[in-house]
Amino acid sequence: MATATGINSRINDYSDLDLKFRLNPNTKDFVLKKDVEAVKQSVINILLTQRGERPFNPELGGNLYAYLFENFDDITKAAVETTIVNTLRNYEPRVRVLSVDVVDLDYRNALRITLEIQIISPEVSTTSVEFVVERLR
């Protein structure tokens, strides 16, 4: 961003560690996720976090695992969608949820969630996030 003095300011980029903990082959350091990928990873992490899982922030999380063994009908689907929108509104200020699609994968006791989100930054961008919520054995 140019100013009257000709000095350019740097726009803050989003970055985060890749949670697969892959190493960069050149530097032998952990790989970073940048910009859109960092925000998408954050969205998934927040939604897959169970409430009470974070010691000093017990309200953080989407608590989506609680819906896995519910009878999946329109009411449950609406509850999941509302939970997702409210959780991201409260805990991820970098995104605005445009749409939520929840599909019951009853043969797996899982939910496939697809989000269309708008990343709020100096350059507004729209992207989709898709993930599956299922019990780990």
Nearest to 126 by CA among 91, 102, 99, 89: 99
Q: What is the pTM of this model?
A: 0.79
Give bridge partners of residue 78 from the DSSP assignment.
none
Q: Cα 68 to chain center, whole Å?
A: 19
CA 124 – CA 80 distance, rounded (Å): 26
Per-residue pLDDT of the chain (137 residues; tens, 9 = 90+): 444 545 443 455 766 666 555 767 777 666 666 678 888 888 999 999 998 888 898 888 888 999 988 899 999 999 999 999 999 999 999 899 999 999 999 888 899 999 999 988 777 789 999 999 998 76
CA 115 – CA 137 distance, rounded (Å): 26
Q: Which fold has domain 15-134?
A: Nuclear Transport Factor 2; Chain: A, (3.10.450)
Per the CB < 8 A criterion, the answer to whether 47 and 129 are in contact is no
Q: What is the pLDDT of residues 26-36, one digit of tens each?
A: 776 666 666 78
Taking the alpha carbons at both ends of the chain, their separation in whole angstroms is 51
SS3 75: helix
Mean pLDDT, all residues of the chain? 83
